[in-house]
Amino acid sequence: MKIWVLRHGQAEAMASSDEQRALTEQGREEALLMAAQLIGEPVDAILASPYRRAQETAQLVQAQLQIRRGVSTVAWLTPDDDPRQVLNFLAERSETTLLLVSHQPLVSQLISLLVEGSRNGHYPMPTAGLACIELDLPAAGLGHLRVLTSPAHLRS
């Protein structure tokens, strides 16, 4: 199984609620830049947080990759969800390549859990940060980090 983890692009600082914060123009550009890194990857499904900025990021990626299957909204990808719960849901998936679009601190904790077996490691995931973890089966500590990049890294 290959898990791509994408943090949403830059979002507005203010909105009526955190869940309603939309992407900025820079956030849309970041999402498209990172989507270009996924061209040629056989993404079976895109799963996204219900928060607006994650939904917008996922939809931009879906459109750029021309994935016919829509974005699936899942409640377990919000900022403060437990990465162990995400791991449990991943264990039930049959796809071989998934893209998860979510938030900090969940994305860093999930990468740490998959690669190190605990959620205490530090993996920098700025807005639109992208990571790829390969696993024979979705279990803590069995993942191999193959990609960890960001828009700033690609532009330098």
Average pLDDT, stretch 8-21? Answer: 96
Q: What pTM was estimated for this model as a whole?
A: 0.96
Cα 105 from Cα 107, distance rounded (Å): 6
The yes-or-no verdict on residue 156 having pLDDT over 80 is no
Domain 2-155 class? Answer: alpha beta
What are phi and psi for residue 131, nearest 5 degrees? Answer: -130, 150
- Looking at the predicted structure, is the pLDDT value of residue 117 above 80? yes
pLDDT-based confidence at 5, cuts 50/70/90? very high
pLDDT for 134 beyond 90: yes
pLDDT of residue 18 exceeding 90, the answer is: yes
> Residue ranges of the domains in the chain?
2-155
Q: Distance of alpha carbon 117 from its chain centroid, rounded?
A: 19
pLDDT interval class at 155 (50, 70, 90) = confident
